[in-house]
Structure 1
Amino acid sequence: MSPSLYQEFAFAGQQAIRTIIPDLHERIPVSLDTAPYPLIFYVPFVFMAYLARRPDTYLIRLLLLPITLCGIVAAAYRYVWTPPELNVYNWGQCLLAAVTIAKALEYALNPEGMLKVGESRPGETKGKGKANGDANGAVNGRDRRGTPWIPDGLYDAIELMHTLRGLQWKFGQGVHIPKPTRPLERKAFLRATLISFTQNFLFLDLLESLIKLFPGIGSPMGGSMFYTNLPMFYRYTVSTVIHMLTGSAILAGFGMVYDLVTLIAVGCFGSVPTSWPPVIDEPWRADSMHTLWSKHWHQLLRQTFLVLGGYPGKWLAGDFGMLFGTFIASGLFHECAMYSMGHGFDHTVSLFFAMQGPILILERVWRKVTGRRVGGWIGRLWVYSILFLWAQPMGRWPLLF
């Protein structure tokens, strides 16, 4: 009996998916010979970023989108780091893929392209009809004196690809930016950033060493922080300590990497200190989940989650759909990256992030019923209980360190 049309399409679809995302045992090991290929897959994305800063390129961006998305996914899932100690690189390259997919979608689906604040068309200020810039190399309000050797079009593409919070960009309006904590004079800024980088590096190294003292935690193959051989009280005391150490390590890691990138951008490429405000705004001071996610936690992936889940959710179900879609996208973002590490799918992480939608609705209901926002020391206990107790099923995260 010949297969039905539906079966033919289902088989063809499965084969197409497996061509881009092979089974783990069929993936190509990353080596000196194969390393250039994932980079080549990102060339259409770079070209699309260039086009997004050029007027009248909407149609070609739409036509370029399918091959761009396929290339990004293939770069992340066709190639695998096989040494166990490098397994975290598989996680990192898939997180990068999700971010660039969201960026590619935004570049392609915005008819006007990607605009900076005050622009009517890419590179053209409202009411003036001419490109921003001056003889000193300042383009669109950015100081370019340190990079005169980079052509304007390439500089625009590089800046667009690397901006996450969207400082000076139209899509970044409304994003919470923490107040500067370092002097804005160039030399003093670099000195303070170097000190911060050193402190974060040493603190992360200390936390990683402490985490690895626990059996099975921090090894390349990972392990559970829930020791079933311990009595319940001790089991969850130990898991809470590991959870807190891991969360602190994540904060230190964020700070360390951000400081390093800041040093390179300001010290080597002439970027201005005002373009590098703090990345995290003291999350331990959050007294509601709303302020945690909207202000105190980093906003680097805000636009990624809006594009992948928030905007489609709003189209389907209005503001509630946008809220739930944003957090569902966040959960899938983390879980799809974990899939690349060979552990399969486990949606406990996705469930934790999806729960944030109902939690924020509860806070809004509390405000309507009592007339007061969630806050104060009770609000802080509420936040800590969610992060230190409810989030513990995400105990697979220690395997990253």
Structure 2
Amino acid sequence: MSPSFYQELLFASRRAIRTIIPDLHDRIPVTWHTAPYPFIFYIPFIFMAYLARRPDTYLIRLLLLPITLCGIVAAAYRFVWTIPELNVYNWGQCLLAAVTIAKSVEYAFNKEGMLKVGETRPGEMKGKGKGVANGQTHPDVRRGNHYIPSGLYDAIELMHTLRGLQWKFGQGVHIPKPTRPLERDKFLQATLVSFIQNCLLVDFLESAIKLFPGVGSPMGGSMFYPDLQPFWRYTVSTLIHMLTGSAILSGFGMVYDLVTLIAVGCFDSSPSSWPPVTDHPWCADSMHALWSRHWHQLLRQTFLVLGGYPGKWLAGDLGMLFGTFIASGLFHECAMYSMGRGFDHTVSLFFTMQGPILVIERVWRKVTGRRVGGLFGRLWVYSILFLWAQPMVNAWHRRGLGGGMVIPPFLSPARLLFLPIVHNFLQLSLQK
């Protein structure tokens, strides 16, 4: 009996998906010879960013979108890091893919293009080139590097901006107050010091996590050790959880400092365009405050495009809230799929639950007339971050997150000094 139309459609769809996202054993290993190929797949995205800053390009951006999305997904999922310690890089390149997919969709469907604050059309400012962004008045910051064509510079700036400072889509984003001098040379010095500090901290935390059996292995392992008594089991898991969270925060700072040094030092970007990446997240006294102000806002627009705006179209403001956090959960988990360890929607569930949690805070305010805050609010936030989030972090560690290499061992002061000292101390303790 010949297959039905539905069966043929399913077969064809699967073949089409596997052409872009092959099975793990059919993917291309990343080597020095194959490493340039993923960058080639991003060329349509670069062209899309260029067109988004050119007027009257709406139709061509729409036509370019399908090939742009296919190229981004292929770059992320067709090429694989095969060294176990580098498996976590597969996660990283797929996180990057999700961000660029959201950017591409936004570039394509914004009919007028991507505008800066105060622009009427791309590159055409009204008044004297000043506008209000994020509650503050900013001058239109122009580049000082005249060796890069203006169109290419515009595309580079648009591709790399995440919070959207001085861009129309970034209005309303919370921007932390500057903590570094805004004079260029002093700013670069302070950023370099911060970069070194964050590197050392990431190195120490990464090395400490690798001391835990299983968790510190590239193959992964649970941070809930079943052989321990419950008190010690959850004490150890909480310690690993805190080390992981601190490593993620310092990692954000390290990468952000490096990009800041390149942008300001090499491309003459304005120091005022590079405020702190987070705003004291440990000081948050409500989950609303954490997600809207204290936590980094680098992925805010990504989650709005992928989930928030479709959710608002379906169910208004409540749909926007839930859609944003659903997109956040899928963002983290679908990228983890690239590590070849399957799906674990514990991660998706944690982020999805942030929607109901924020609704609970709103209900609390309506019932009591007071916002969640103070000591009670701080304990509420810490209970969610330190207790409820542990299954999510455990899902990451079981698939090898803690065994990934961030700082190469030959550049690691912690690996060269800290780990040998701990190893010798443990050996002496066992001999006694």
TM-score range, shorter chain: over 0.9
Once the two structures are superposed, residues 288-319 of structure 1 have per-residue CA deviations (whole angstroms, 9 ceiling, x without a partner) of: 00000000000000000000000000001101
Q: What residue in structure 1 maps to residue 408 of structure 2?
A: none
Looking at structure 1, the residues matched to 275 and 223 of structure 2 have their Cα atoms a distance apart, in angstroms, of 35
Q: What residue in structure 2 maps to residue 69 of structure 1?
A: 69
Q: What residue in structure 1 maps to residue 45 of structure 2?
A: 45
Task: Look up the SS of the partner of 2:120 in the other structure.
Answer: strand
Q: What residue in structure 1 maps to residue 245 of structure 2?
A: 247
Task: Look up the SS of the partner of 1:343 in the other structure.
Answer: coil
Say if 2:347 and 2:395, in contact at 8 Å, map to a contact too.
Answer: no
TM-score (normalised: structure 2)? 0.89
Deviation for aligned residue 1:397: 3.1
Q: What residue in structure 2 maps to residue 233 of structure 1?
A: 231
Say if 1:313 and 1:322, in contact at 8 Å, map to a contact too.
Answer: yes
Q: What residue in structure 1 maps to residue 94 of structure 2?
A: 94
Say if 1:52 and 1:107, in contact at 8 Å, map to a contact too.
Answer: yes
TM-score (normalised: structure 1)? 0.95
Q: What residue in structure 2 maps to residue 27 of structure 1?
A: 27
Deviation for aligned residue 1:215: 0.9
2:401 aligned with 1:397, yes or no? no
How does 1:305-344 map onto structure 2 within 5 Å? Answer: 305-344=303-342
1:311 maps to amino acid: Y
| Structure 1, unpaired ranges of 5+ | 133-139
1:20 maps to amino acid: I
Once the two structures are superposed, residues 118-162 of structure 1 have per-residue CA deviations (whole angstroms, 9 ceiling, x without a partner) of: 01110011368x9x9xxxxxxx922311x2100000000000000
Q: What residue in structure 2 maps to residue 136 of structure 1?
A: none
Looking at structure 2, the residues matched to 204 and 78 of structure 1 have their Cα atoms a distance apart, in angstroms, of 30
Q: What residue in structure 2 maps to residue 18 of structure 1?
A: 18
**Coordinate RMSD, CA, aligned:** 1.4
Q: What residue in structure 2 maps to residue 112 of structure 1?
A: 112
Q: What residue in structure 1 maps to residue 204 of structure 2?
A: 206
How does 1:165-314 map onto structure 2 within 5 Å? Answer: 165-314=163-312
The percentage of counterpart residues that share the same residue type is 82
2:124 aligned with 1:141, yes or no? no
Say if 1:223 and 1:396, in contact at 8 Å, map to a contact too.
Answer: no
Looking at structure 2, the residues matched to 244 and 33 of structure 1 have their Cα atoms a distance apart, in angstroms, of 39
Deviation for aligned residue 1:196: 1.0
Say if 2:30 and 2:80, in contact at 8 Å, map to a contact too.
Answer: yes
Looking at structure 2, the residues matched to 190 and 222 of structure 1 have their Cα atoms a distance apart, in angstroms, of 38
With 388-397 and 340-349 compared, the bigger mean Cα shift is at 388-397
Say if 2:333 and 2:348, in contact at 8 Å, map to a contact too.
Answer: yes
Q: What residue in structure 1 maps to residue 5 of structure 2?
A: 5
1:154 maps to amino acid: L
Structure 1: 4+ residue segments shifted above 6 A = none
Q: What residue in structure 2 maps to residue 137 of structure 1?
A: none
With 207-216 and 314-323 compared, the bigger mean Cα shift is at 207-216
Say if 2:346 and 2:395, in contact at 8 Å, map to a contact too.
Answer: no
Looking at structure 2, the residues matched to 21 and 325 of structure 1 have their Cα atoms a distance apart, in angstroms, of 25
1:244 maps to amino acid: M
1:299 maps to amino acid: Q
With 285-294 and 25-34 compared, the bigger mean Cα shift is at 25-34
Deviation for aligned residue 1:111: 0.5
1:211 maps to amino acid: I
Q: What residue in structure 2 maps to residue 80 of structure 1?
A: 80
Say if 1:143 and 1:270, in contact at 8 Å, map to a contact too.
Answer: no
| Structure 2, unpaired ranges of 5+ | 132-138, 403-432
Say if 2:344 and 2:395, in contact at 8 Å, map to a contact too.
Answer: no
1:209 maps to amino acid: S
Deviation for aligned residue 1:231: 1.3
Say if 2:180 and 2:187, in contact at 8 Å, map to a contact too.
Answer: yes
